[in-house]
Amino acid sequence: MGKQILLKNIDVPGLADFQVYRKLGGYTAVEKALKTLSPDQITEEVKKSGLKGRGGAGFPTGMKWSFIDKQSEKAKYLVCNYDESEPGTFKDRHIGKLNPHQLIEGMILGSYALGANTAYIYIRGELFYVLKILEKAIQEAYKNGFLGENILGTGYSLDLYCHPGAGAYICGEETALLESLEGKRGNPRIKPPFPAIVGLYGSPTVVNNVETIAALPWIVKNGYEAYAAIGIGNSKGTKLISACGHINKPGIYEIELGLPVEEFIYSDEYCGGIRNGNKLKAVVAGGSSVPILPASLILKTAAGEPRLMSYESLAEGGFQTGTMLGSGGFIVMDHTTCIVKNLLTFARFYRHESCGQCSPCREGTSWMEKILTRIENGQGTMKDIDLLVDIAKHVEGNTICPLGDAAAWPVASAIRHFREEFEEHVKLQKCPF
């Protein structure tokens, strides 16, 4: 097992309790930061650590922080994106449920670095049980002087609130999240202006994922060099992977970035191989929104090099022969899987979750679902396959937010790599599986 940062103490009984977390070194990063480091020094530490956003986009965290308008006289905000709704992704709820103080400590550090005196955790409505755990931990942090007025006598003050969403996947998009947090319908905003300039309540705002924020205490405590020493290339540190599908050991794993995909799937330390000794057929490596890859391309790149669990290696070859690490929702499929049926499930999800604001997404997601239903039920034609590719092309890049891309990429990649399976559905006039 590689370096453990986020899951190191996850199995310690009572870790969600303040006293247990404190005894294990909790909140020492806050003490160090507030007493010995300036906000700009923390931002620099995070920038040099190489930490990237762990919610899907993989944008450098420190750079994102540096965009915030610190000269603005308006209040600054840090918002935690806890709207974990991507099919195949279930890592963030693990942190909040078992180690909430790690997230709270990260929120304090991030807020201090940004000059924010108010911060929010926007949590998916279905995770209400986690919200209750977080609220209890927040009250403990207030009681022990780590939240509220004049924290540790340093003159810095911070109020932290939890806000439940209503279960809309679109609110995982940061501007839709901000709209929802303001009490409005969760429709994505047109950018620019970006949230760092005009965010929550029209003020400078940074939105970061749970896993990103939870990594901050370790970075501040151990220094950027220690974090940057883990990983490979520009993929620094560790990454939580939600592994599911046709594997012997589904679960949440913390890996050092750069681990070979083949080792992750087949090693007993991680997924333990394919169920029933079956043959690997395909993998969705980063949640339902990323391109699917067949076994031949997920284990090795088109150039024949071993494929690694890193932002760069998984993306090698572009979308023709590569994919994305995304949110780390790692879905494994064996040879008994019907790719068409799997794609139809994804398409149904994106049609249901489209906010309807953009015509290409509103109409395109519905159209793709109808055609895939037709093909899966044995009523499709060969023209339908090309029509799906054409619709995906017209949806991709033509919407305000990336949900349109998220719906289009799986369709385009599934047909690119498994076209013969779609054609077989048409020829047989039924699903062959």
- Tens of pLDDT, residue by residue over 16-52, are 999 999 999 999 999 999 999 999 999 999 999 999 9
Does some domain include residue 10? no
Does some domain include residue 13? no
Structure tokens that stand for 177 in this block: 């999240």
Q: Indicate which CATH number applies to the domain containing 330.
A: 3.10.20.600
For residues 272 and 250, give the distance between their C-alpha atoms in angstroms, rounded to a whole number. 9
Task: Please state the φ and ψ torsions of residue 182, each to the nearest 5 degrees.
Answer: -80, -5
Q: Are 254 and 208 in a shared domain?
A: no
296-317: burial string, b at 16+ Cβ within 10 Å, e else: ebbbebeeeeebbbbbbbbbbb
Q: Which of 334, 350, 370 is the last residue of a domain?
A: 334
**Where do we find the tokens 């589904």?**
250
Q: Residue type for 152, please?
A: L
Q: Residue type for 385, please?
A: I
By residue range, what is the domain housing residue 415?
Answer: 339-428
What's the average model confidence in pLDDT over 192-208?
Answer: 96
Give the chain's mean pLDDT: 96
CB atoms within 10 A of CB 370: 12
Q: Are 162 and 202 in a shared domain?
A: yes
Does some domain include residue 162? yes
For residues 409 and 396, give the distance between their C-alpha atoms in angstroms, rounded to a whole number. 8
- Say whether pLDDT at 56 is over 90: no
Q: Are 156 and 270 in a shared domain?
A: no
- Tens of pLDDT, residue by residue over 75-128, are 999 999 999 999 999 999 999 999 999 999 999 999 999 999 999 999 999 999
- Say whether pLDDT at 1 is over 80: no
Q: Which of 306, 334, 362 is the last residue of a domain?
A: 334
> What HEC string does 374-406 produce?
HHHCCCCCHHHHHHHHHHHHHHCCCCCCCHHHH
Tell me which of 68-72, 101-105, 403-407, 428-432 is least confident: 68-72
CB atoms within 10 A of CB 356: 12
Structure tokens that stand for 193 in this block: 């202006």
Structure tokens that stand for 217 in this block: 């205490």
Compute and round to an integer the Cα radius of gyration of the chain. 22
